Chain A
Amino acid sequence: MTPPAGRYPEEPSPACGGGLGGGGSADPHPGPPPRAGEGEALVTLRGVGKRFASGTEALSGIDLSIGTGEFVSLLGPSGCGKSTLLRLVAGLAEPSGGRVEWMAGARPRIGFVFQDATLMPWASALDNVRLPLRLAALPRAEQQALAAAALADVGLAGFERAYPRELSGGMRMRVSLARALVTRPELLLMDEPFAALDELTRNRLNDDLLALWSARGGATTVVFVTHSVFESVYLSSRILVMSARPGRIAEELAIAAPAPRPPGFRTSAGYAAMCRAASEALERAMAGPARQALDRAMADRS
């Protein structure tokens, strides 16, 4: 296998690859995350923190900028606040500190994909996909046409009348993806969408997701939450590695590889090297303050 045309993340990289990235430079070392180019940032988080009513501090001091057209992955162990961060961006929860600022001044059109397909079991695939349009009170004929097209885009033409119960896990996730894309969102938020699927299905969905994102030509920005190193490297133009308790962004990696990924990318040496770099960053993040405190406590006891 030949290595891809992309650079390794260890190399200094002047800009994010492929003209798709909105910003962010390669910096595998801990420190304050650099900001994406301010002018083209779709959304900027400044000092965002989230403390739940129970007193748990889920997120602390998140400074983050996401550029238009980027594919950003939030990579971290479970419980590091990835999903909470996504919910704050979606507006499903309010930060208890800091600000979320939008390029247009207001939240753009957002699509959201949950870990489960989260379909209405009583509605057909087509009716599930046209839900956002129905809520927006579009004319019925338009709803049908757009929803059918979105289903065809995710490879489910002919399954319009099928109920979620009659579809496989992967197909259900495709319906969920079609529903998120049917409004042509400017920002697509995905919360470990493929975590419950088998590896083959997951790989195929990763490819299809990249293809769909590329086809939108930078009109859709994706923020993708995952705990899989391989998935994050395969998909993203930029990875934000998070550490837990409280959740913060520990490191940032730029992935410079063309999108959609060339054939054989998954088995290439370049991909392996990037995965190793991401994996090491994740190790460092997980061995952060919590681990050090634990080590100290164990040392004190002995």
Chain B
Amino acid sequence: MTVAGLLGRAVPGLAGVLFLIGWEGLVRLYAVPAYVLPGPLAIWAALIDDWPILFGSMLETLKIALLALLAAVTLGGLLAVLFAQSRLLERALFPYAVVLQVTPIVAIAPLILIWVDDVTLSLLICAWIVAFFPVLSNTVLGLNSADRNLAELFRLYGATRWQALWLLRLPAALPFFLAGLRVAGGLALIGAVVAEFVAGAGGTGSGLAWRILEAGFQLKIPRMFAALALISACGIAIFAALGLLQHLLLRRWHESAMRVEG
């Protein structure tokens, strides 16, 4: 790799390091108290000190987010396939999926917490509501985007509905589904954290959102930032993992995963 290439790769990291140095410098220069704004070093120290608690909470939040994502993929995908089989069903149900999508989760979460006894399950439902729509709408779009001539070819050769779905429409929908999945991954985490906030405000919870609330009550601001950093790290990890999945599944055939050579 050339020097320019290496530099190109390193730029985002360098910018981040410069930002952190500037932050630490300003906090020290103006002697900002830690309960207003801690510097990165203080946050790092809190992360190390409180690691056992924070790590457990992170696993809790990740569990909710990933299970919600799984449910979003399963139910969103199945619903999309159903919609693709019947325009009538799509027209009947799709508007309600949109209603579910545009209603703020913070507004519904308290209701769900009341209706569902199990806290974990209610968190899961909240996160799922946020995450499933991109999977549904993208997959529906993908299933309807199969090449028209290929669809005619399938008809010409007497393909059954099932064959057309399995051999044509699902593969054609894969890039769309994966793009939706990447969006859904981030949203599942956001849904999980928001739901935890609502639940945590009621005194129950053990996820990262609860740690942030708790640290806020106790004015342990560095720990608050440490929990926040962990949430970001989780989001980045989910996004990167889904990006890798996308690349692995599409690299042989889809334009989006191609590198220009030469």
Interface residue ranges, A against B (CB under 8 Å): 90-92, 110, 112, 114, 116, 118, 120-123, 131-132, 134-136, 163-165, 183
- Indicate whether A118 sits within 8 Å of B147 (C-beta atoms), given known contacts A131-B167, A163-B252, A164-B253: yes
Instruction: Identify which of B149, B152, B155, B254 contacts A116 (C-beta below 8 A).
Output: B149
Check B158 against A135 for contact (C-beta < 8 Å).
yes
Q: How far is the CB of A288 from chain B (nearest CB, A)?
A: 30
* B153 is an interface residue with CB less than 8 A from chain A: yes
Q: Report how far A183 CA is from B168 CA in the complex, Å.
A: 19
* B156 is an interface residue with CB less than 8 A from chain A: yes
Check B153 against A112 for contact (C-beta < 8 Å).
yes
Q: Report how far A198 CA is from B36 CA in the complex, Å.
A: 69
Instruction: Identify which of B147, B159, B171, B252 contacts A135 (C-beta below 8 A).
Output: B159
* B115 is an interface residue with CB less than 8 A from chain A: no
Check B163 against A122 for contact (C-beta < 8 Å).
no
Check A165 against B258 for contact (C-beta < 8 Å).
yes
Residue of B nearest to A176 (CB): B153
Check B157 against A135 for contact (C-beta < 8 Å).
yes
Given contacts A90-B156, A92-B152, A92-B156, 13 further A-B contacts (CB under 8 A): A92-B155, A110-B156, A112-B156, A114-B153, A118-B147, A118-B153, A120-B168, A121-B253, A121-B254, A123-B253, A132-B157, A135-B157, A136-B158
Interface residue ranges, B against A (CB under 8 Å): 147, 149-150, 152-159, 163, 167-168, 171-172, 174, 252-254, 258
Check A114 against B253 for contact (C-beta < 8 Å).
no
Check B150 against A135 for contact (C-beta < 8 Å).
no
Residue of B nearest to A179 (CB): B153
Q: Report how far A164 CA is from B172 CA in the complex, Å.
A: 14
A165 CB contacts on chain B under 8 angstroms: 252-253, 258
Q: Report how far A110 CA is from B158 CA in the complex, Å.
A: 11
Q: How far is the CB of A93 from chain B (nearest CB, A)?
A: 10
Check A122 against B171 for contact (C-beta < 8 Å).
yes
11 A-B residue contacts at CB 8 Å? A114-B149, A120-B167, A121-B254, A122-B171, A123-B171, A131-B157, A135-B154, A135-B159, A135-B167, A165-B252, A165-B258
The 9 closest A-B pairs by CB, nearest first: A118-B149, A135-B157, A121-B253, A122-B171, A122-B253, A114-B149, A135-B159, A132-B157, A163-B253
A120 CB contacts on chain B under 8 angstroms: 150, 167-168, 171
